[in-house]
Amino acid sequence: MPPARVSDGPGRQPSVHPKPSRRFAQGCVWVLLGPGNSVAAQYKDRSRCVHEHDGGDRVGRDRGVHGGDAMSARLRGIARQTEEIVAAGSYQAPDGREVSIAAAVAAAQEGTRMYGPGPVDIPRAAPVPTFFEVTGESSLEAARRLTGSERHTGPVAVLNFSSARNPGGGYLNGAQAQEEALCRASALYACVLRAREFYDHHRTHRDAFYSDRVIHSPAVPVFRDDRGRLLDEPYTVGFLTAAAPNAGVVRRTTPERAAELPRALGARAERVLETAVAGGYRRLVLGAWGCGVFQNDPEQVAGAFRALLGDGGRFSGSFEHVVFGVLDRTPGTVVRGAFERAFAGAGAGAGAGAGAGVATGAGVVAVAGTEAGQGDQRQP
C-alpha cells in the first residue's frame, strides 16, 4: 500500500496545556496502577487530567507532569529550547560554532509520510547476514553508535514507541519516556506534526488496540545526547513512529479480547518492518516497545519480532544489524531478559552468514567474531 501523503505546510502546534479529552473529563479513570506507572498512580483521582499515562518507560509518561518537580521543569525547559532550535534552524555547538540544521529539518518534514494500516509494498532484495544485539543502551545511544560504525554503512532507523493520540506524547510537558527523549534530542516532534491523520484517527476511534499505522520520518537531525547536551556534530536517523496496543486497558476494559494481543503485536510489528524495508533501511534500533505503561508482555513483544526477523520469518535476512536497546530498571532485568532469550541463537537462518550472531547483556558484547563497544548506561 502506498504511503499516505501528509498535509503540506506547518502543523498546528498543540497547546502545552491541552484541553481535557472525553476520556479524562472525569479524572484519570484509566490510570494503570502498579509498577508500570507508580507516579501516575498517585494522581489517579486528580480531576480533568489530560494525560494518556502511556509510554515505553517503566516509570511512565507522567513522571513530573502532575507533580511539577525539578526534573520535569528541567525537561520542559529542554523541550522549549529544542523547539526554538528547530524553528531557528541552527544552534551553537559546545565548541562555539554555529551549526545549521535548517535544510535537514525541512527535508525530514517534507519526507514524512504515514503508512498503513494495510500492507506496505516493499522491494525485493537479496538476503544479507543479520547481526542481532540486545543491549542496555537507550535508543539514541544505539543509534549514535550505529551511525558511527565502520562495519556497515547506510541509514539507521529507530522505532519510536509513540503515543497514539498526542504528537510527542508528554514531550512539551516534561514527561519521561522513550518518545519524549527522542523528541528532546531531535527534530522528530516537528516531523510527526505533519502526520496529523495518524493522531486524528486514534482520537476518533477509541479502541485501545489502536491501528497498524506507521509514520516514517527520514533523516531527522539529532543534535542532543541523552543528558540533553548539544552535540558538536549532529547526525541523522530515520524514525518509525508506531503505537503498540495498550494491553493494560484492553485487559481491564475488554478482557475477553486479551487473547488477541499477540496477534495484534505481530501485525503491528510486521507493518513497522515493512515500512523500514520500504524506506531502504538495513540497520534498525528496536526495543521493549509497549512494555512500560502499556503493559504488553515482554515475552510477547520479543516473540513477535523474533517470528518476523528470525529463521523462517518474513524479514529473515532483510537487515544487516538489528539492535534491541532495552533500558531495564526491573529487578533481575526481566524485560531485557525476554529479548535475550528470544534472540539467543538468532542469525543462523536464511539471512545468516559470516559475522551473523547475537550480542546480549547490559553492554555490547562481541559474539561470533564481531567487534563491539561498551554500552553507556547514563540516563537522561
Going by C-beta distance under 8 Å and a sequence separation of 6 or more, which residues neighbour residue 98? 90, 91, 92
3-class DSSP assignment, residue 344 = coil
pLDDT digits (tens, 9 = 90+) for 42-72: 333 333 333 333 333 333 444 444 445 888 9
Grid cell listed for 146: 550505529
**Domain spans in the chain, listed from the N-terminal domain onward:** 4-11+19-359
Number of H helices, E strands in the chain: 11, 11
Going by C-beta distance under 8 Å and a sequence separation of 6 or more, which residues neighbour residue 255? none
Q: What angle do CA 33, 159, 204 make, to 5 degrees?
A: 60
pLDDT digits (tens, 9 = 90+) for 305-316: 999 999 999 999
Grid cell listed for 88: 531557528
Dihedral of the alpha carbons of 359, 361, 365, 368, in degrees to the nearest 10: -30
pLDDT digits (tens, 9 = 90+) for 93-140: 999 999 999 999 999 999 999 999 999 999 999 999 999 999 999 999
Look-up of cell digits 539467543: 344
pLDDT digits (tens, 9 = 90+) for 315-367: 999 999 999 999 998 899 999 999 999 999 875 333 333 334 455 443 333 33
- pLDDT of res. 75: 96
Q: What angle do CA 314, 318, 357 make, to 5 degrees?
A: 100
Q: Are 108 and 157 in contact (CB under 8 A)?
A: no
Grid cell listed for 330: 526491573
pTM above threshold 0.85: no
Q: Which of 150, 10, 7 is nearest to 87 (CA)?
A: 10
How many CA atoms lie within 13 Å of 360's alpha carbon, on the beta-carbon side? 15
pLDDT digits (tens, 9 = 90+) for 100-111: 999 999 999 999
Q: What CATH topology corresponds to 4-11+19-359?
A: Leucine Aminopeptidase, subunit E; domain 1 (3.40.220)
- pLDDT of res. 347: 59
3-class DSSP assignment, residue 218 = strand
Q: Are 23 and 206 in contact (CB under 8 A)?
A: yes
Q: What angle do CA 5, 11, 17 make, to 5 degrees?
A: 135
Residue 335's alpha-carbon distances to 69, 234, 242, 312, 328, in angstroms, are: 28, 31, 20, 25, 6
Q: What angle do CA 18, 11, 82 make, to 5 degrees?
A: 75
Q: How many Cβ atoms sit within 10 Å of the Cβ of residue 369?
A: 9
